[in-house]
Each structure stands twice: as structure tokens, then as C-alpha cells.
């Protein structure tokens, strides 16, 4: 079968790999119809998260069940399903409590497992014609419709970035009427903005400096802020001050609340320096979220901070150790949430929003490609050029039309 594999820094290749076979009676074999390229894949692509050469990548996967093991009871050959990027067992302490992002049994080297990802267990990825699904009853979300229908892209986004964006709003305590600042207008940031608006946030700002991505944020109903135009936190403070309705309803002391109730870091450790955007500054967005949020507010780091990082700027950074203004954090009495999204907690509800016409996350999809074009798409997505924002690989029949 054809699959995309990692062959070294900024080198992906498309080649023949053996079609996976069922290993356990609880497995299923999935014929992939669409697979996404994720910002998380770029950490490995850039050589910043070490990955063994030859590994088949891809953790955003949907398709049609080809075969099920004898112990699989709730899905069958021909069912259309999407997989959470977290692989979970369903029976451990954490899975029982809905924390499938910290499954205790699927990764022999620690907690958390995923398809085709460094340090997340021995599972091949799904940027491939077929993928093996462990504990298929637990890990498959059943979908209505047929491959290639008008929901194909929306459903694919249920594998990761839609639930992840939504989870970010949960960790940042977004609820109706609240104000939200999101740093990063990649797929995760855009869908965190979309989820905030779905929840009824009153003001949503999205910071980036990629024009097409900021344009998309505006299209979704958020207020774009370009960090190349000056300190993004000051820009948000200024924009808030221009809101006459808010200013006119202040009670004593409220003038101190220049910022946001909620802030989301959808960038992570490869953040660029606001003042020198060609350089990285790992703590840039971490510092900005702490500054932008009001006292007693909440912050979510959904962008990844990961170690080891061979490209870290000093010995501490290589180990994922950073200094940040903890005193400001404490003084402001902030709440913080971090980590991978437990996709399974949300994917079913978000699917039903899609099916009932209440959500259309696929507005953020910029490109559809055939698998042979994956290496070129990685290059453009990594450089954030030509509007490459969310790239989906189509397999089989659909590929010809991609």
C-alpha cells in the first residue's frame, strides 16, 4: 500500500509499505479515505521531535472498515468511521474517567498513544491507504453518509483539530459572554476561535501574522490581530478600549480589566518572536497569554511544548525547561490547563453538531491533495505559504479528483 513516511529532517517520502494485518481479535483494519496533515506533524518534519526514519506518519484518519477481529462487536465491514488521534484502551483508570489522552496501557514507554507519532507507542500512521485500529470498539466513531459526501472534510476534522480547539475552550473556561484571545491562527487556533463563538463568547481575538489565516479568522467571526503590526497584547487592550458599550458600562475598578477573561496558546514551543518573526522564541506566546488575561482569568496551552528538542536554543530548552513570569501568573490568580486533547470526550457531540447543520468546521480546509503530492504539501504547509492552512490527503477514487 502507498504511505507517507518520515525519512529525515524536512524529508517525507511516498512509497510502498506492507498492508497491515490484524494482530489481535480486538483490532480492525481501516481503508483510509481522507487523512490530515497536522501542525503536530511539523515538529517531527522540522527535526524538532526525533522520529525513527521510515515511520509511517499521520494521526488524523477516517475511512471505511475493511475487516474486524472476532472480538469486535459494535462495528463491521463497510462502516464509515473516524478515529481519535489518541489511541486508548477504554479499560484503564484514566480511560474510565474520560482521560483517553493519558491512557495507561497503550504506550509501553509512558502514557498517551497516537498513530504515527514520536514517543506515542508503536503504531503506524494513517497517511496511508490502510491503518490498523487497536481496540476498534472503543476507538472508532461511527459516521453517517458515504465517503466523499459533503461531510467528509468536517468528519475528518473530528480526528483532532475540532475536538482539540473545543477542548482548548474548555480548559480556558470559555462560556457565553466571555472575552477570548487566541494566539495562533493555524487549524487549532482557528477551531478554538470557532468553538468559542459556538459557545457564545462575546469577543474573540485571533493573533498571527499569516495574512490568509487572519483572513480566515475574520471570516469565522473573530477579530484578527497581526503581531507584525506591533505588540499584539497592546493591540488587544487598545481594541477593547474602543468598545464604547463596554467602556460605558464599567463599574469602579473595571478600567483595570483591560484584557481578556480567557486566553489560548495555540502555537506552542515553536512560537516566533513577535519582534523578529524570522526567529523563534519558545516562551513568546506563553508570556503573551499571561499578559493578556485579566486577574482571575484562565489560560490554556493547547500548542505543544515537548522534549527532547534537538533544535532548542540552549541546554534547558533542549530539555523543555523554560523560565516564565510565574509571579505574575500567581499574582493574577490564573487558572491553567495544558496537554493533549482527549478527543473521545467531544467527538460524538461535535459530530452531531455537524450532522444537524450547526457546525461546519471544514471552512478552514485550504487544500485537498493526492498522496503523491504529500511531500510538496508538507513543504508549503511548513513554510505557511500560498494559503496552505489545512491540507487533507484523499485516497482511492477521490484522489483523482483532488
Positions that interact with Zn ion (CB under 5 A):
38, 40, 88-89, 92, 95, 103, 160
* Nearest Cα to Cα of residue 294 among 176, 167, 178: 178
What track of x and - describes contact with ligand NAD for positions 150 through 179 (by CB under 6 A)?
----------x---x---------------
Q: Secondary structure of the chain: what % helix, strand, coil (to 5)?
A: 35, 20, 45
Residue 89 interface partner, choices ligand NAD, Zn ion, none, CB cut-off 5-8 Å depending on type: Zn ion
CB of 258 to ligand NAD, least distance (A): 19
Q: Which is nearer to Zn ion, 135 or 183 (CB)?
A: 135
Cβ-proximal residue to ligand NAD, closest one: 186
Give dist(CA 37, CA 376) in Å, integer. Answer: 12
Q: Which is nearer to ligand NAD, 26 or 86 (CB)?
A: 86
Rounded to 10 deg, the angle between the 187-198 and 161-171 helix axes is 60
Q: Which is nearer to ligand NAD, 31 or 59 (CB)?
A: 59
Q: What residues between 357 and 396 interact with ligand NAD by CB under 6 A?
A: 384
For ligand NAD, which stretch binds (CB under 6 A), given 87-95, 113-121, 122-130, 268-276? Answer: 268-276
Q: What residues between 309 and 368 interact with ligand NAD by CB under 6 A?
A: 340-341
Rounded to 10 deg, the angle between the 284-292 and 232-241 helix axes is 20
Q: What residues between 15 and 74 interact with ligand NAD by CB under 6 A?
A: 38-40, 42-43
Kindly tell me which residue out of 147, 186, 259, 297 binds ligand NAD, with binding defined by CB under 6 A.
Answer: 186
Q: Give the C-alpha distances (Å, rounded to integers) separating 18 from 51, 112, 350.
A: 20, 26, 34
Q: Which is nearer to Zn ion, 112 or 179 (CB)?
A: 112
For ligand NAD, which stretch binds (CB under 6 A), given 71-79, 193-201, 267-275, 291-299? Answer: 267-275
Q: Which is nearer to ligand NAD, 40 or 362 (CB)?
A: 40
Residue 95 interface partner, choices Zn ion, ligand NAD, none, CB cut-off 5-8 Å depending on type: Zn ion
Examine residue 267 and tell whether it contacts ligand NAD (CB under 6 A): yes
Asked if residue 154 lies in contact with residue 27, where contact means CB atoms within 8 angstroms, the answer is no
Q: Give the C-alpha distances (Å, rounded to integers) separating 267 from 170, 301, 316, 396.
A: 17, 8, 20, 33
Give dist(CA 229, CA 225) in Å, integer. Answer: 8
What track of x and - describes contact with ligand NAD for positions 116 through 155 (by CB under 6 A)?
----------------------------------------
Q: Which is nearer to ligand NAD, 160 or 309 (CB)?
A: 160
CB of 210 to ligand NAD, least distance (A): 5
Q: Where are the alpha helices (DSSP H) in 242-309?
A: 244-248, 284-292
Q: Give the C-alpha distances (Å, rounded to integers) separating 204 from 60, 134, 238, 245, 276.
A: 27, 38, 14, 16, 25
DSSP code for 287: H
Q: Which is nearer to ligand NAD, 203 or 208 (CB)?
A: 208
Q: Which is nearer to ligand NAD, 345 or 394 (CB)?
A: 345
* Nearest Cα to Cα of residue 343 among 163, 77, 78: 163
Using DSSP's 3-state secondary structure scheme, residue 286 falls into: helix
CA count, 13 A, side-chain hemisphere, 340: 25
CA 285 vs. chain centroid, Å, equals 16
Residue 369 interface partner, choices Zn ion, ligand NAD, none, CB cut-off 5-8 Å depending on type: none
CB of 218 to Zn ion, least distance (A): 24
Asked if residue 52 lies in contact with residue 13, where contact means CB atoms within 8 angstroms, the answer is no
Kindly tell me which residue out of 114, 128, 143, 185 binds ligand NAD, with binding defined by CB under 6 A.
Answer: 185
* Nearest Cα to Cα of residue 82 among 148, 32, 23: 32
Q: Which is nearer to ligand NAD, 238 or 279 (CB)?
A: 279
CB of 23 to ligand NAD, least distance (A): 26
Asked if residue 342 lies in contact with residue 99, where contact means CB atoms within 8 angstroms, the answer is yes
Give dist(CA 273, CA 287) in Å, integer. Answer: 11
Give dist(CA 190, CA 165) in Å, integer. Answer: 8
Examine residue 224 and tell whether it contacts ligand NAD (CB under 6 A): no
Q: Which residues bind ligand NAD (CB under 6 A)?
A: 38-40, 42-43, 160, 164, 183-189, 207-208, 210, 213, 227, 266-268, 271-272, 274, 284-285, 302-304, 340-341, 384
Amino acid at each position: 500500500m502507498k504511505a507517507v513516511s518520515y525519512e529525515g529532517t524536512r524529508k517525507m517520502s511516498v512509497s510502498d509499505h506492507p498492508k497491515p494485518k490484524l494482530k489481535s481479535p480486538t483490532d480492525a483494519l481501516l481503508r483510509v479515505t481522507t487523512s490530515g496533515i497536522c501542525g503536530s506533524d511539523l515538529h517531527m518534519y522540522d527535526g524538532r521531535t526525533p522520529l525513527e526514519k521510515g515511520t509511517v506518519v499521520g494521526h488524523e484518519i477516517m475511512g471505511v472498515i475493511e475487516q474486524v477481529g472476532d472480538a469486535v462487536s459494535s462495528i463491521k465491514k463497510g462502516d464509515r468511521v473516524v478515529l481519535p488521534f489518541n489511541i486508548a484502551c477504554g479499560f484503564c483508570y484514566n480511560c474510565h474517567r474520560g482521560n483517553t489522552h493519558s491512557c495507561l496501557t497503550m504506550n509501553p514507554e509512558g502514557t498517551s498513544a497516537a498513530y504515527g507519532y514520536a514517543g506515542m507507542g508503536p503504531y503506524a500512521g494513517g497517511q496511508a491507504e490502510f491503518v490498523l485500529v487497536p481496540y476498534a470498539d472503543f476507538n472508532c466513531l461511527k459516521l453517517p453518509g458515504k465517503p466523499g459526501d459533503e461531510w467528509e472534510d468536517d468528519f475528518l476534522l473530528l480526528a483532532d483539530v475540532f475536538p482539540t480547539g473545543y477542548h482548548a475552550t474548555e480548559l480556558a473556561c470559555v462560556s457565553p459572554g466571555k472575552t477570548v484571545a487566541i494566539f495562533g491562527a493555524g487549524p487549532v487556533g482557528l477551531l478554538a476561535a470557532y468553538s468559542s463563538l459556538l459557545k457564545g463568547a462575546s469577543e474573540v481575538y485571533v493573533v498571527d501574522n499569516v495574512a490568509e489565516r487572519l483572513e480566515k479568522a475574520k471570516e469565522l467571526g473573530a477579530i484578527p490581530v497581526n503581531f507584525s503590526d506591533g505588540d499584539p497584547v497592546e493591540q488587544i487592550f487598545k481594541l477593547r478600549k474602543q468598545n464604547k458599550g463596554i467602556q460605558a458600562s464599567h463599574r469602579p475598578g473595571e478600567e483595570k480589566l483591560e484584557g481578556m477573561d480567557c486566553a489560548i496558546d495555540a502555537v506552542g514551543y515553536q512560537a516566533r518572536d513577535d519582534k523578529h518573526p524570522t526567529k523563534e522564541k519558545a516562551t513568546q506566546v506563553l508570556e503573551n497569554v499571561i499578559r493578556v488575561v485579566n486577574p482571575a482569568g484562565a489560560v490554556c496551552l493547547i500548542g505543544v511544548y515537548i522534549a527532547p528538542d534537538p533544535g532548542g536554543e540552549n541546554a534547558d530548552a533542549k530539555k523543555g525547561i523554560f523560565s516564565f513570569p510565574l509571579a505574575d501568573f500567581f499574582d493574577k490568580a490564573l487558572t491553567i490547563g495544558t496537554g493533549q486533547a482527549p478527543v473521545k470526550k467531544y467527538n460524538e457531540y461535535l459530530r452531531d453538531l455537524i450532522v444537524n447543520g450547526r457546525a461546519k468546521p471544514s471552512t478552514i480546509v485550504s487544500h485537498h491533495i493526492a498522496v503523491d503530492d504529500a511531500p510538496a504539501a508538507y513543504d508549503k504547509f511548513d513554510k505557511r505559504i500560498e494559503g496552505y492552512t489545512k491540507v487533507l490527503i484523499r485516497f482511492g477514487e477521490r484522489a483523482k479528483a483532488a
